[in-house]
Structures are given as structure tokens and as C-alpha cells.
Amino acid sequence: MTILVYLIPVALLAGGLGLSGFLWALRSGQYEDLEGAAERILIDRDERPEC
Amino acid sequence: MSCCAPGAEMALDLNGATSVLPSSQEIRLASRSLGDDLRQTDLSVPTVHCAACIQTIEAALGRLDHVESARVNLSTKRVAVRWRGDEVPPFIAALGRLGYDAHLFAPEIDDKDKTLAELIRAVAVAGFAAGNIMLLSVSVWSGAEGATRDLFHWVSALIAIPALAFAGGIFFRSAWNALRHGRMNMDVPIAVGVSLAYAMSLYETINHGDHAYFDASVSLLFFLLIGRTLDHVMRERARTAVKGLSQLAARGAMVLRGDGARDYLPVGEIEPGMRLLIAAGERIPVDGKIIQGTSDLDCSLASGESTPKNVAPGEAVQGVLNLTGPLTIEATAAAKDSFLAEMVRLMEAAEGGRAQYRRIADRVSALYAPVVHLTAFVTFLGWIAATGDWHRAMTIAIAVLIITCPCALGLAVPIVQVVAARRLFENGIMVKDGSAMERLATMNTAVFDKTGTLTLGQPRLVNASSIDPAVLAIAADMAAHSRHPFSKAIAGFAAAGGQHKFDAVTEHPGFGIEATVAGSIWRLGRRRWAGWKARTDGESGHGGTVLTKDGGIVASFVFEDALRADAGAALAQLNDAGISVEMLSGDTADACGDVAGILGIDRFVSALLPSGKAERIEVLTKAGHKVLMVGDGLNDTPALGAAHVSIAPATAADIGRNAADFVFLRESLSAVPLALDVSRKAGRLIRQNIAIAIIYNAVAVPIAILGHVTPLIAAIAMSASSLLVIGNASRLQGFVPDEPRRTAPPDRRSHTGTLAQPS
């Protein structure tokens, strides 16, 4: 049962990482244009740099 | 335009009719500085809707000089253009050439949706906490004992604290706010239940108890937040789309100073007495009096009259579009006292009646909350009386509070409304909020405006086939020089061969266009002015649009205002649905009678003032009718506000669209019966969902009262009821509205009648 001492914090840490990743994505505006993001993958941009 | 064809074509159509390019001063005024000489202008482009559109727009704008970058936001249908330099790059014109109708987007209403961001963060935190606590709880349920169980409970308690503080804060604040004002809302039982459950669980944990309710209290928050977020997304999204469609009001005007200097001032700084220069094609921003120049004004949005009005010095003008000649006007009122502002006030006054409408969810919760609390409290008293064990009584009372959690109820209404709004959106109808659908489902009288709603508000040439094509081509080339609606209708018949060579073309505001070709004078315009040799009197001596050569009439043109596509079918469907239809208009009795005759409308009132429409609706309301108002003009705005529920076409005036509950983007009027259909269906599903939630409680609550509910059962029951409600709502997705299926596009000309009399 001592393994729980490691496993529980590890599980929480992993979950916490995911949560903070989500919050970061939210703050950096990645959810502001969901439809646009879905359509943009269809655009070829060989010569055009990311804007 | 590949896949965008239908939408973009509509844009071109509208473009031809209403769009006015804002001047570069206006664009500069509407842009904001990002520092370091960089400026950003936000444009609303309602017709962007696929990857090809994004690529076309971003590539085309990126190629313009001085443009740093252009970024399309497809969800909000906006384009953010960053540019440098003193010269404003011609991006609106560039978009226009691509077939996208672009409008300046006022930065002041572009505040980011903070509530949504907060709700999504709360959902994320609650979801994270619920998931982890649930994992730990499953271990406890499957037999963890002693120290392990206590450890798990303690970890759960720790995880639950931030979740309650952050995600629960939304409910605690709302509940506290309601209680402080002596009201009850759905958030009160949630807040009480969640915090009691947490306190009780903590007590159990400290005393090495068997059961803790951390999982229940957090997953409850999780489910409720999902419902709340869906509700919010639906309302906000439609609202921003409605706001962003187009901005018709002028943002400023060129002011002529006493010393001859010209300044471009924002509308807010224009004061009475100032002299404004209004070029042909510009909007008149404030009420004023003409001191110089003659022109034709498009008053259709303001008064509902479809024929342009001829104006001369001395006449008063208000908030309309200047079509043909430059004008100098003297402002007689500041923007806040103008006709536009007056409409806003009338609308706000009228909307008071509608504010009393309470949403189904609120009505249910008003009953629900006291019943839940009373049940829990009585359970508590009952168990104390029966066993004297206050600890056990408390546990059971909390179980009752949790199992009656309005989880399903919290999801029941928004989930249906989100699915319904999505369906309407796919059909080109935007809904402002959920209560609009509830109100639409109960309406029984529909009131239509004429110009711009039943009709398109654009004249169409109807006798083209009886005019010699060569003559028509000459007229079309001349007409291309004017913005007058009749000219636009004629210009559409230009020959493919190309331009005629005119030596000189001049527009005489209020009269027509004059061109000289090889020594002879051609005129296109009013009969009296153009046909000076053929001075005829009699039936058409006072008006009519003609083409003349050296004063002799070569051709005369007859115009009609075309009916909106499917107007007849839409009205018939409304009749079938048991709804009585009425028409109100500011236009003349003749014009109204013609439309009413074609569409088979029995009741109509003509030549109404804006307040007259609102009064008529109040009369109907007093008589017990639930009125739907469909209108587009500024003059309809008070009526849109006064009606039980309202719909406006996307071509409506800005303020009209903001006043309306629904906005339909396509030309077809069948949007009205479709919205009614979906709303009624959604209303039925909402009632079913509420019934499911209540039946669930009727079964679960007695079990909880008797003390047989373990945390596992409570969690499963709660989730199951929520899933059932979501599943029921998704039935709307497969629902096909019974609209008439068309095999061919509607032929507008077959629906027309002589409505607009040539002036």
C-alpha cells in the first residue's frame, strides 16, 4: 500500500498538468475561433509564413 | 467563389443595394492604435464561412501595401487587419471586389466575453476535481477500509477545496445575490447542498466515518456548470453575430468650419448649428436641415416608404441615406437627440412589457427550490424524531438535497435550446436567447411590416422585355453612373458588349442622368425633366421614369418592388399553424393594398407612424393576443420592442436587428414558419425534459428519505438522469421541419406586383 504514497501525487500531478495546459490554451486565445481552426487545416500554406 | 456561392451572392446582392463604403477618415476613426505606428481595424464580414473564404481574404488583404497582417475569425465572422502608415489601405474595397460585404466593427462593443472564459475555466477545474475524486471514491466503494479509506477521503477533501472555491463561486455568488434581494433561485439549493455536503463529509472524514460525499458535491458542480456554459454560449454567440452583421449608422461626418476648414468629426461631437457636407452615397448622421444642394434620399429604413424622396434646400432630414447629389446640411440636433436616439427611447419604453416574461426554467425553479429545502428539512426533523440520532438525520437530509439536485433540471432547458439554436443557425436564423424561443412557441398573431420584410425594398424593372434591347443597353450604361435605386435596377440590364462611349455624363440630383453622344442629348430620369419636348399630361404626366433623346421619349420604365422569396408560402404555413396575420406599414394605402391582395392578407393598416405600429401591437396584446412582430426598418424598432417576440431580416437597420429576438440571414421569408416550428418542437422537448427530471425525483426522493441512498447510488442516479435529458434533447437534431421542398430556385418575378409607383 505504500505505493499509493507515490501514485496518488503522481496521478494528481499529471491531471494538474493537463488542467494547467488547458487553462494556458484558453488564456492564449486558442479557443476564440474554433470554427476557423477546424477549417484552416484545409488551407495549403506552402509559401505563406504563419501569421 | 466555390463553396461560398450562395452566401457570397447574397452579399453581392445586398452590396448593390445598401452598402456604402466608409471614408478613410471613418476607418481611421474606427481603428485602434497598437503602438509603434501599427493600427488595427476590425471588420465585420458576415459572409465568410469556409476555408476558401479565409484563404482568399487573408491572401488578398496581405498583398495590399502597408498591411502587416490580416486574420479571419470564422466563429465571429470578423477580420482583424493590422496596418501601418498614414494612408488607410483600401481593404474594404478589396473585400468588395472579392464579393465580401465588409463593415466597420465598432471597437466599443467588442469587449471580450469574460463570463464565458470564467465558466470554461470553472468547468475545467470542476471536471478535473470530479474525475480525481471519483477515482478515489470508486476505491472506497469497492472496499477500502481503515487508514486507506481515511487517506482517500482526506485527499478528496483537499482536491475539493479549490474546486468548490473556484467553480462553486459562480453559484455561491448568484445564490447570495438572490437571497440578499429576498428572492429564491435555482442556485440557492445548489449552494446550500454543496456546502452542507462538504461540511458533513469533512466531519465524517475527521471522525473516520464510512461515507463521504465529496464526489457528489463536486460532480454536481461539474454537471451544472456544463449546463450553464451551454446556455451562455448560445446566448452570447448569437448576440455577437447579430451585433457584428453590419453597422449602418454613420460614425462621423465632414464638418465645414466657419473659416472654410473641413474636419471629420465623430458623431458624438457633432453639435446643433454645425454645417455638414454629405456626399452622394453617404449617410446623414444626425437630424438636420438642408441648406444647399438637391438630392434623392432613401428613407425606406426610416419611414417604410420605398420610393426615394426628392429633397431641396430648406427641408428637414433625419438619419437616412443620401443617394444622388452632394448636400450641405445644418445639424439641428446632437446625435443623442436625433431621430435614431428617439427610436431607441421608444423601443426601450416598449420593451418594459416584455421584461416581465419569465423563462420556464425560472418558473420551475421558483417552485422547485422551496419544495426541495422543505423536503430535506422535514426529513431531518423526521429522523431526529424517530431515532434521536442527529448525525444520521443530517446525513440523510444531505442525501435528499443531493439526490434532488436540479442537475437534470439545470441541463433540461439549456441543452434543448442549444440544439434548437444550432438547427436554426444551420437554416440561416440566429436566436438571441433561449427565452425568445419559448416566447415564439406561444405566439398566436403575426404582424408583418411591408417594405423590406414582405417585400425586398428594392425596385425591379418589370417591362424590360418590351423595351428594345439596344435602347435598354444605352439606358443601362447611363444608369451605371447613379446610385438611385431605379438606376441600379436598370443598370443590371447592361449589355455584355461593354460601355457606350458618352461624351459627358452628369447626374442632376432629384431629376436624372444626362449624357451627350455625338451631339445629341440623352436623358434618363423623371418624365417631366427628361421628356421636355413630349410634354404629355394625363395618366403618367406627373411621374414615370423615361429615357429620352433630344427631348423625345424613347422608352419608359415600369418598376415594382419584388416580394421576398416564399412570402406567400410562409404566410400560408403560418395560417395553417393557426396564426392570424396582419400587415402594418408606413407606406401608402395603395402600395399596401397591392401587397395584401397578392399575399391574401385580410387585415392591414397603412401610413402608420413608428409609434402607431407599437400602439397597434399594444392594442392586440391587450386583447389577449401574443404578437410576433416581423420588421426591418428603423420605424419598426419600437414595434419590435413592444411585441411579445420579434424577428428581423439581416438587411434590417442596425438598431432593428438589435431589438429583434431572431434575425434571419437568407432572403426567404420561410424562416418565420421554420423558426416557429423548431421553437414549438423545442418547447415540447423542454417540457418532456422537465417531466423526466420530476419523475426521477419522485422515484429517487422517497428512497433517499428512507435512508437507503449510498453515495454510489446517488452519483449513478444523478448522472443517469442527466444523460437521459441530454439524449432526449438530441432528438431535435434529427427533426426535419415540414417546410416545402423546392426543386428549383424561386422565380421572384412571378411573385411581383406593382408596388412602387415610379416618381
- Give tens-digit pLDDT for B521-533: 888 888 777 776 6
More confident residue, B744 or B29: B29
Going from the C-alpha of B631 to that of each of B105, B421, B584, B658, the distances in angstroms are 23, 21, 9, 12
pLDDT average, residue stretch B615-624 = 88
Going from the C-alpha of B290 to that of each of B192, B284, B316, B476, the distances in angstroms are 66, 11, 6, 31
More confident residue, B405 or B685: B685
Closest chain B residue to A21, measured at CA: B124
More confident residue, B309 or B162: B162
In terms of Cα–Cα distance, which of B426, B237, B50, B121 is closest to A35?
B50
Taking 3-state DSSP, the helix, strand and coil percentages for chain B, each rounded to the nearest 5, stand at 55, 15, 30
> Which pLDDT score, from 0 to 100, does residue A33 have?
78
> Which pLDDT score, from 0 to 100, does residue B511 have?
80
pLDDT average, residue stretch B184-203 = 80
Contact B277, B299 (CB under 8 A): no
Q: Do B74 and A36 touch (CB under 8 A)?
A: yes
CA distance B319 to B333: 11
Nine cell digits for residue B712: 454510489
Residue B386 has pLDDT above 80, yes or no: yes
Count how many residues are written for chain A. 51
CA distance B225 to B223: 5
Q: Do B74 and A35 touch (CB under 8 A)?
A: yes
> Which pLDDT score, from 0 to 100, does residue B628 have?
92
Q: Do B62 and A51 touch (CB under 8 A)?
A: yes
Closest chain B residue to A27, measured at CA: B117
Residue B500 has pLDDT above 70, yes or no: no
Contact B652, B457 (CB under 8 A): no
Which of B54, B117, B155 lies nearest to residue A40, judging by beta carbons? B54
Q: Beta-carbon neighbour count of residue B325 at 10 Å?
A: 19
Closest chain A residue to B55, measured at CA: A43
Q: Do B125 and A19 touch (CB under 8 A)?
A: yes
Q: Do B124 and A34 touch (CB under 8 A)?
A: no
Taking 3-state DSSP, the helix, strand and coil percentages for chain A, each rounded to the nearest 5, stand at 65, 0, 35
Confidence of residue B709 (pLDDT cuts 50, 70, 90): confident
In angstroms, the separation between the Cα of residue B648 and the nearest Cα of chain A is 25
Is B111 designated active site?
no
A→B interface, C-beta within 8 Å: 1, 4, 8, 11-12, 15-16, 18-19, 22-23, 26, 31-36, 39-43, 48, 51
* Mean pLDDT lowest among A33-42, B358-367, B414-423, B536-545: B536-545
Going from the C-alpha of B294 to that of each of B260, B309, B506, the distances in angstroms are 21, 11, 14
pLDDT average, residue stretch B24-49 = 78
In angstroms, the separation between the Cα of residue A37 and the nearest Cα of chain B is 8
* Mean pLDDT lowest among B110-124, B142-156, B440-454, B494-508: B494-508
Nine cell digits for residue B26: 471613418
Amino acid at B444: N
Contacts for B153 with CB less than 8 Å, ≥ 6 apart: B140, B201, B204, B205, B212, B214
Q: Beta-carbon neighbour count of residue B87 at 10 Å?
A: 11
Q: Distance from CA of residue B454 to its chain's centroid?
A: 19
pLDDT average, residue stretch B566-587 = 87
pLDDT average, residue stretch B58-69 = 86
Which 8-state DSSP code applies to residue B737?
A: P
CA distance B335 to B273: 12
Element (H, E) at B717: helix B711-729
In angstroms, the separation between the Cα of residue A18 and the nearest Cα of chain B is 9
pLDDT average, residue stretch B170-194 = 81
CA distance B531 to B548: 6
Which 8-state DSSP code applies to residue B693?
A: H
Nine cell digits for residue B221: 458542480
3-class DSSP assignment, residue B127: helix
Residue B253 has pLDDT above 50, yes or no: yes
Per-residue pLDDT reduced to its tens digit, B225-244: 887 887 777 666 656 555 55
Residue B139 has pLDDT above 70, yes or no: yes
| CB–CB contacts below 8 A, A to B | 58
More confident residue, B133 or B228: B133
Contact B306, B587 (CB under 8 A): yes
Confidence of residue B750 (pLDDT cuts 50, 70, 90): very low
Question: Quick one: angle between helices B114-141 and A3-27, nearest 10?
Answer: 160
More confident residue, B567 or B494: B567
Which of A18, A36, A42 lies nearest to residue B75, judging by beta carbons? A36
Q: What are the strands, taking DSSP E only, across B518-569?
A: 520-526, 545-549, 552-557, 559-563
pTM of the full structure: 0.68
> Which pLDDT score, from 0 to 100, does residue B754 have?
36
pLDDT average, residue stretch B728-737 = 70
More confident residue, B86 or B449: B449
> Which pLDDT score, from 0 to 100, does residue B18 have?
40
> Which pLDDT score, from 0 to 100, does residue B223 have?
79
Q: Beta-carbon neighbour count of residue B381 at 10 Å?
A: 12
Please state whether B229 falls in left (phi above 0), alpha (psi between -120 and 50) or beta.
alpha
The active-site residue out of B42, B101, B449, B561 is: B449
- Beta strand pairing call for B603-605 and B580-584: parallel
Closest chain B residue to A45, measured at CA: B55
3-class DSSP assignment, residue B541: coil
Amino acid at A14: A
Q: Beta-carbon neighbour count of residue A51 at 10 Å?
A: 11
Q: Beta-carbon neighbour count of residue B706 at 10 Å?
A: 11
> Which pLDDT score, from 0 to 100, does residue B464 have?
77
In terms of Cα–Cα distance, which of B544, B508, B20 is closest to B295?
B508
> Which pLDDT score, from 0 to 100, does residue B77 have?
78
Closest chain B residue to A8, measured at CA: B155
> Which pLDDT score, from 0 to 100, does residue B739 have?
45
Residue B14 has pLDDT above 50, yes or no: no
> Which pLDDT score, from 0 to 100, does residue B340 have?
67
Average pLDDT, chain B: 77
> Best mutation site among A1, A13, A35 for testing chain B: the one with the most B CBs within 10 Å?
A35
Per-residue pLDDT reduced to its tens digit, B194-203: 888 888 888 8
Percent of chain B having pLDDT more than 70? 81
List phi, psi (to 5°) of B61. Answer: -70, -35
Q: Distance from CA of residue B715 to its chain's centroid?
A: 40
* Mean pLDDT lowest among B152-161, B235-244, B304-313, B473-482: B235-244
Q: Do A12 and B51 touch (CB under 8 A)?
A: no
Q: What is the 3-state secondary structure (H, E, C) of B611-641?
A: HHHHHHHHHHHHCCCCEEEECCCHHHHHHHH
B→A interface, C-beta within 8 Å: 50-51, 54-55, 58-59, 62, 69-76, 117, 120-121, 124-125, 128, 131-132, 135-136, 148, 151, 155, 159
More confident residue, B715 or B329: B329
CA distance B374 to B76: 46
In angstroms, the separation between the Cα of residue B141 and the nearest Cα of chain A is 17
Question: Quick one: angle between helices B214-244 and B434-442, nearest 10?
Answer: 80
Q: Which range, A10-24, B292-306, B471-485, is most confident?
A: A10-24
> Best mutation site among B3, B132, B134, B153 for testing chain A: the one with the most A CBs within 10 Å?
B132
Which of B51, B124, B132 lies nearest to residue A40, judging by beta carbons? B51
Sole residue written with cell 425606406:
B300
Q: Do B59 and A1 touch (CB under 8 A)?
A: no
More confident residue, B622 or B734: B622
What are chain B's domains?
9-104 (3.30.70.100), 114-244+356-410 (no CATH), 252-337 (2.70.150.10), 415-457+562-759 (3.40.50.1000), 463-557 (3.40.1110.10)
In terms of Cα–Cα distance, which of B93, B83, B41, B42 is closest to B62?
B83
Residue B603 has pLDDT above 80, yes or no: yes
Q: Do B71 and A1 touch (CB under 8 A)?
A: no
Contact B233, B292 (CB under 8 A): no
More confident residue, B731 or B434: B731
> Which pLDDT score, from 0 to 100, does residue B112 have?
57
pLDDT average, residue stretch B149-177 = 88
In angstroms, the separation between the Cα of residue B58 and the nearest Cα of chain A is 10
CA distance B191 to B185: 10
In angstroms, the separation between the Cα of residue B5 and the nearest Cα of chain A is 17
CA distance B376 to B372: 6
Q: Do A26 and B124 touch (CB under 8 A)?
A: yes
Which of B71, B75, B121 lies nearest to residue A51, judging by beta carbons? B71
Which of A1, A8, A33 lies nearest to residue B74, judging by beta carbons? A33
